[in-house]
Copies of this chain bind each other. A is one copy, B any other.
């Protein structure tokens, strides 16, 4: 086990993709103070994208984080640091305060490999504002090797603190993860590594453990696995399984019994057959998510036929 391992709980950020960030302030507070009591090092409290750039018509405080609002929710910062995720082209640099004026400690930049240059520009800016930074390279399972090598050349020269391996489609297995971690370690030896998994194949926890044992320091997870589609590695598994002196599973169990069971009744995530199928096929879960919203949601054979028969299609844009 790694004594320097760090958990980043993504329940609000990735879980918000399940319920359009319909989280009560009470829940977010219980989560923050619970994760703090559990010894979890970071909580990603949402996205810091710009409502203007996304043409948002409704308020959505966890999607469009605002420092004044955050200070009301978390008036007293404790051990657990706060992070926010931003997307390329959706964040307005003018929205970002210098770190000493912000409740946030870390800003993570999600990007596809073809946008790494743009991602690193944002990283540079957040770094100069004093934040810890990460670059989260999405959809790693479908990145061509040469593109990754080019990206690494840029990353090595950047001040980014952490580079993430993101299994967006939940299609990688522990052997794949070991291979990726070794490649990242070899080619960007000056960077700490992170891992973000999805549970389509029930491999999120195993993949995260494999990453940790191969030197990855930053481990993403969500309480009870709450995250888009099949969800993420479960925070309670990491806190319960990793031998680190300050980890304590009981506050996480309390969050689950107080909130997550009801939330799971209301919203759907986890090991669900269409998400398993999209994982096996190494595809984005959006087609499966649309199918789960249709009347055919439990017609698994039909779904499988549609996504594996070239001439069939669920909708004109379903595979785009």
**Which residues on A are within 8 Å of B, measured CB to CB?**
173-175, 199, 201-207, 209-210, 213, 234, 236-237, 240-241, 249-250, 253-254, 256-257, 261, 271, 273, 276-277, 280, 298-301, 304-305
A237 to chain B, nearest CB (A): 6
Q: List 27 A-B contacts (CB under 8 A).
A: A173-B206, A173-B209, A173-B241, A174-B210, A175-B209, A175-B213, A199-B202, A201-B205, A202-B205, A202-B206, A202-B234, A202-B237, A205-B206, A236-B273, A236-B276, A237-B276, A249-B280, A250-B304, A250-B305, A253-B300, A253-B304, A254-B300, A257-B273, A257-B298, A257-B299, A257-B300, A257-B301
Contact of A203 among B206, B213, B280, B305 (CB under 8 A): B206
Ordered nearest first, which 4 A-B pairs have the shortest CB separation? Answer: A206-B206, A253-B300, A257-B300, A240-B280
Tell me the bound Cα distance from A286 to B210 in angstroms.
30
Tell me the bound Cα distance from A257 to B291 in angstroms.
14
B residues near A253, Cβ cutoff 8 Å: 273, 300-301, 304
Secondary structure dominating the interface of A:
helix
Tell me the bound Cα distance from A184 to B318 in angstroms.
48
B residues near A271, Cβ cutoff 8 Å: 271
A319 to chain B, nearest CB (A): 19
Besides A174-B206, A236-B273, 20 new A-B residue pairs in contact (Cβ under 8 A), listed by A number:
A173-B206, A174-B174, A174-B209, A175-B213, A201-B241, A202-B202, A202-B204, A202-B205, A202-B234, A203-B206, A205-B206, A240-B277, A241-B280, A249-B280, A249-B304, A250-B305, A253-B301, A254-B300, A254-B301, A257-B273
A308 to chain B, nearest CB (A): 9
B residues near A207, Cβ cutoff 8 Å: 206
Q: Given A206-B174, A209-B174 in contact, is the A273-B299 Cβ separation under 8 Å? A: no
B residues near A203, Cβ cutoff 8 Å: 205-206
B residues near A277, Cβ cutoff 8 Å: 240
Q: Contact at B241–A298, with CB atoms within 8 Å? A: no
Interface centre among A234, A250, A273 (most CB of B within 10 A): A273
Tell me the bound Cα distance from A276 to B257 in angstroms.
14
Tell me the bound Cα distance from A205 to B201 in angstroms.
8
B residues near A280, Cβ cutoff 8 Å: 240-241, 249
Q: Given A202-B234, A298-B261 in contact, is the A276-B240 Cβ separation under 8 Å? A: yes
Tell me the bound Cα distance from A202 to B174 in angstroms.
13
Closest to A171 in B: B241
B residues near A299, Cβ cutoff 8 Å: 257
A254 to chain B, nearest CB (A): 5
B residues near A254, Cβ cutoff 8 Å: 300-301
A317 to chain B, nearest CB (A): 25
Tell me the bound Cα distance from A276 to B253 in angstroms.
11
Tell me the bound Cα distance from A253 to B274 in angstroms.
10
B residues near A204, Cβ cutoff 8 Å: 202
B residues near A301, Cβ cutoff 8 Å: 250, 253-254, 257
